[in-house]
Structure 1
Amino acid sequence: MAEGCNDGSSIPTMTPYEEALDALSSLITKRSRADKSNKGDRFDLLFDYLKILELEEAITEMKIIHVAGTKGKGSTCTFTESILRNCGFHTGLFTSPHLIDVRERFRLDGVDICEEKFLAYFWWCYDRLKEKATEDIPMPTYFRFLALLAFKIFAAEQVDVAILEVGLGGKFDPTNVVQKPIVCGISSLGYDHMEILGNTLSQIAGEKAGIYKDGIPAYTVPQPDEAMNVLVEKASKLNVPLKVAEPLDAKLLNGLKLSLEGEHQYLNAGLAIALSSTWLQRTGHHEFTYLKQDSPLPEQFIKGLTTASLQGRAQKVPDQYIDAESYGDLVFYLDGAHSPESMEMCARWFSLAIKEDSQKKAFNYPPQNNSGSTIELAQGNPNDRYGKSSMQILLFNCMSVRDPQLLLPCLMKTCASHGVYFKKALFVPNTSVYNKVGSHALPTDSEVDLSWQLTLQRVWENLIQSDKGGEAKYADAVCEEGKEDTKMSGSACENSAVFPSLPLAIKWIRESVLQNRSVRHQVLVTGSLHLVGDVLRLVKM
């Protein structure tokens, strides 16, 4: 313990890493990302920062792959890094957001940067920028600093290839200080961050195409016509050879599976293959190049695609809190979907995953006698095989700039089309939104404003009542009556509950498991990558 103030009180000593996170937190602006009044929004400031950090020449020499998009850009970057690493190259990968630890954003050869290196590079950048800060050139904001830090790390570590995921948009994203990438990619486009990027697909596509550079090849995936027309037009104006990467044919994996789950990952894998092949070709490494769908994939590509890892996207995590006897009684299915299109993909993945898990348990479950084979048992009701039924629970939150009237119906209807219905929906605030990067200074439950979560709950209850053919207004009445049902929640309804904190929601779920040993609890966590990260942090403790 460190000595406290004159009154004799004491405060816990912060570790060097926590001190760095505190300094990083000081760069988080409380302004809305859509607020253009902040002086720090000037894009040209980034070039001043590069000059202060002496990174101008290093960036021009870096062999960069730059990827924008609405959905799948993180997965595309992860596949691309894994492919090139398996080809023998020293890789640097910058992605966002992080889920548990900010160091996840900076990967060297597929591994998060170690704490020692992070601290060295962090203070090198922070101290120089702080020393040179003026009214005209203020300290960079949070994400700008992280992008600058990524450039410093990759330059100092002398990576062979740097794969950069755009944080938001494209044209004015901090990663777009790159003037001469080797190749650019644009993943699937959809409606997201509309308060900043525009309300139409054409406006959004125009912002994403801002990463195009004169004469530099670019790839995209099949897009809606409205978006594709803009991408083609922008490419033509800059003499950009734009090509469409087709989804990967699963047969090319020689019987193996993509390491990232979900049908949509074949789209991202196809884009990653095109980006990797073009990078190899343009940097003179022709021995690995693959540009034709009808030819076999190089072994290194297959290994890269089947071993890549990315947390929080179609990820299954059995709860380690539950005892070994009950292993599998509580499984969290995590996906950071936060747009209508990705929500539909998430719902489809979850629905298929829980059924697939039931099938796996069926084949592992021995018959009680010789009257029926395991295969015959698998053809019946999965729950009957071991006397356990399954219960699906939704754990949800989304940012207030997103429209739950678009997200929640998409989720509910897609799950219902696969015969999946949630017994309960739990709405919680994120713990990672309180202007702190670390987890050592979080608010108490009483300080949390639950008005947004109550709004989400009303949307959900209205959807259920509408689906039942009842009056939508009935949902509010159900919630009023249910408020006394639990002391833990801000509002408990027949089909949903609001909790003031995530730990309380997890506690409620775990207690439900212990009280219902005959029921397997399958919890879908979605709506926000921040929420997914918060759950991972709690479940993996």
Structure 2
Amino acid sequence: MVEGNETLKDSQMAYEEALDALSSLIVNRRRCDKSGDRFELMFEYVKMLDLEESMSQMKVIHVAGTKGKGSTCTFTESILRNCGFRTGLFTSPHLIDIRERFRLDGIDISEEKFLTYFWCCYNRLKEKTSEDIPMPHLFRFLALLAFKIFSDEQVDVAILEVGLGGTFDATNVVQAPIVCGIASLGYDHMELLGNTLGEIASEKAGIFKREAPAFTVFQPDEAMRVLKDKASQLDVQLTVVPSLDPKLLHGRKLGLEGEHQYLNAGLAVALSSTWLRRTGHSQLSYVEQSRCLPEQFIEGLTTASFEGRAQIVPDKYTDVESSDDLVFYLDGAHSPESMEACGRWFSAAVRHNQLGNFKNQSEDNGSGTSSNKLQGYDNDEARKKSVQVLLFNCMAVRDPQLLLPPLIKTCANNGVNFKKALFVPNTSVFNKVGTHGLRETDGQVDLSWQFHVRRIWENTKPCDKGSDSKGTSAVLEEESEKAEVGGKNCENSTVFSSLPLAIKWLRDSVLQQNRSVRLQVLVTGSLHLVGDVLKLIK
């Protein structure tokens, strides 16, 4: 037993050592700028790693976009894996573990393989870089690592999600993709990509390559004009695809929740079909005129999974007799358009209490809710009052005045009003990668941004005129006054000095209610926040 513990400890230390080395590549939080930040160095790094030949033969699907690109990639990977191909998927950011960014056949790369490929790339680049050609910064290194992994693992298809923008993104070192996709466009990263939809679309269209067909979804007119113009300049065939018709799934549901996912699924079907045709597997592809999706496509679309996007997780900490006294609804929305989509999903989910989804997701993601407990859902459970709480944070580069109103309005229009909003600082730190990238609770933490966001919330939130049975608001207010907040507590909102304190407050509130209330907590505004919550509750 001692020997086994020592082996585990050595393994953990080796992994932490790699993450420390990876953290040394974080130079700043900006992954690109309008000049490309010497983008041409990516080609030098590819040469240093002897990846030129293998990358020229790699059968790549390349996807950019403001929102939905990660989901589109996830659907695409799942479809092609169910068609029998060995898949490699590169996405960003990760929520809990850096290895989430690299999936082989739908599974995060193993720690052993990650370490092998990491040190191979890191040591080779350390040896060959110089003052003129310095070590690549974090995201570029991760993209290079993905190319190395997919090359050596001999994947049949590599699905690459653009990190930021398109033109100067590290993934755009790929020169001959099989097919490209542009997911929904909106306003995000404007300090880098431009202040208009046209400028943003121009950056995204930077992934277009001659002789590689491209697909997109319906876009705002300004963005669509730019995409079509860019495609025309390169003689690229650009096709606009509609949302997937739910009838094609024969009564089954998409693996990713939310009505907006049918748009991403439609794009994924087009990308997968085109990849199959262009790689000599037409017999497996979907022909629109047939109005019948191949079974492999249906299986791929309905079994796809992507943590932190429209994800429902009952809190195990309070799971004594009931599985849903405290339920977290997690969605990493961080643009005005995605916040609206998040609001629609959350409203529909809480309106129907999503009990069936609790069972399905618990079985799929190991959240610990047993079917026996769900079958015990009785009249007492049905009489519980559902109370909605918002747990929010967004990066300072984003404007909460653009994020909160569409969320509040969408939820209110669907009959959902938040009884309380909680605002917290970041738990993750951005100069560290990995499990030790969590900041200890700091009594001196600057909460000015959280108070600023709360003021916007208080000025925007509509009055909730709904009934308040058994004094729910009073109990929530009493509990928040007990919490260690960074300043004055408002009736409808509280600023907490740390995320763990906010989670503790939620759990204490459930216990104070004697299980007469079901707290439904929407966690949104930042994928970093979603990841931190998952770390704490799982």
TM-score when normalising by structure 2: 0.88
CA distance in 1, matches of 2:111, 2:32: 33
Superposition deviation, residue 133 in structure 1: 2.1
Q: Which runs of 5+ in 2 are unaligned?
A: 1-9, 358-377, 466-476
Give 1:440 deviation, angstroms: 2.0
Give the residue type in structure 1 aligned to 2:492. N
The 3 A distance-change label for structure 1 pair 191 and 279 is same
1:259-408 alignment to 2 at 5 Å?
A: 259-292=255-288, 294-357=290-353, 386-408=382-404
Structure 2 CA distance for aligned equivalents of residues 140 and 358 of structure 1: 45
- C-alpha deviations, 1:118-173, integer Å up to 9, x for none? 00000000111111221111111010000000000000000000000000000000
Q: Name the structure 2 match of 1:24.
A: 22
1:235 to 217, 225, 231: 231
1:468 is displaced (CA, Å) by 8.8
Once the two structures are TM-superposed, the CA of residue 22 in structure 1 deviates from its matched residue by 0.8
**How many Å apart are 1:355 and its aligned residue?**
1.1
Q: For residues 88-127 of structure 1, what are the structure 2 equivalents within 5 Å? A: 88-127=84-123
> C-alpha displacement at 1:454, in angstroms?
1.4
**Following TM superposition, by how much is the alpha carbon of 1:186 offset from its aligned partner in structure 2, in angstroms?**
0.3
Q: Which residue of 2 aligns with 1:512?
A: 509
Greater mean alpha carbon deviation, residues 350-359 or residues 161-170: 350-359
Report the counterpart of residue 60 of structure 1 in structure 2: 56
1:501 aligns with 2:498: yes
CA RMSD of aligned residues (A): 2.3
Sequence identity percentage: 72
- Counterpart in the other structure of 1:366: none
Q: Which residue of the partner structure matches residue 473 of structure 1?
A: none
Residue 463 of structure 1, CA deviation:
1.6
Cα 1:428–1:49, aligned 2, differ >3 Å: closer, same or farther? same
Q: Match of 2:508, as an amino acid? A: E
Cα distance in structure 2, aligned partners of 1:82 and 1:202: 32
- What residue number does 2:405 align with? 409
Distance across 2 between alignment mates of 1:447 and 1:435: 19
- With over 3 angstroms needed to count, the CA separation of the structure-2 counterparts of 1:428 and 1:293, relative to structure 1, is farther
Deviation at 1:483, TM superposition (A): 13
SS in 1 for 2:283: coil
SS across alignment from 2:407: helix
Aligned partner of 1:105: which letter?
R
Whole-angstrom distance in 1 between the partners of 2:337 and 2:135: 36
d(CA) in 2 for partners of 1:31, 1:227: 27
Change (3 A) 1:33 1:123: closer
Residue 338 of structure 2 aligns to which amino acid in structure 1?
Answer: S
Contact 1:483 1:490 in 2 (8 A): no
CA distance in structure 2 between the partners assigned to 1:340 and 1:190 by the alignment: 8
Assess, with a 3 A threshold, how the Cα gap between structure 1 residues 441 and 102 changes in structure 2: closer, same or farther.
closer
The equivalent residue for 2:371 is none
CA distance in 2, matches of 1:47, 1:220: 27
Higher deviation after alignment, 75-84 or 424-433: 424-433
Count of matched residue pairs: 496
What per-residue deviation string (whole Å, max 9, x for no partner) do you get for residues 55-74 of structure 1? 11111010000000001000
**How far apart, in 2, do the equivalents of 1:48 and 1:358 lie?**
51
Task: For 2:38 and 2:249, locate their aligned partners in 1 and report how far apart those are by CA, in whole Å.
Answer: 46
2:354 and 2:332 map into 1 onto residues whose CA distance is 23
Q: Which residue of 1 aligns with 2:373?
A: none
Give the secondary-structure state (helix, strand or coil) at the position aligned to 1:393.
Answer: strand
The CA deviation at 1:36 is: 6.9
Hey, what's the Cα distance between the residues in 1 that align with 2:511 and 2:108?
A: 36
Partner of 1:9: none
User: Displacement of 1:216 after TM fit?
Assistant: 1.0
Q: Which runs of 5+ in 1 are unaligned?
A: 1-11, 362-381, 470-480
Aligned to 1:458: 455
Relative distance call for 1:385 and 1:510 in structure 2 (3 A) is: closer
1:217 lines up with 2:218 in the alignment = no
Query: Within 1, Cα distance between the matches of 2:139 and 2:527?
Result: 16
What's the counterpart of residue 167 of structure 1?
163
Are the equivalent residues in 1 in contact too, given 2:479–2:509 (CA < 8 A)?
Answer: no
Q: Quote the residue 1:44 is aligned against.
A: 40
Contact 1:67 / 1:166 at 8 angstroms: preserved in 2?
Answer: yes
Say which SS state the counterpart of residue 353 (structure 2) adopts: helix
CA distance in 1: counterparts of 2:305 and 2:451, whole angstroms: 35
| Change over 3 Å in CA distance of 1:425–1:51 after alignment to 2 | same
The structure with the larger Rg is 1
Partner of 2:129: 133
| Whole-angstrom distance in 2 between the partners of 1:293 and 1:168 | 35
* Partner Cα distance (2:11, 2:265) in 1: 46
Tell me the residue number matched to 1:374.
none
Q: Which amino acid aligns with 2:275?
A: W
The farther-off stretch of 452-461 and 57-66 is 452-461
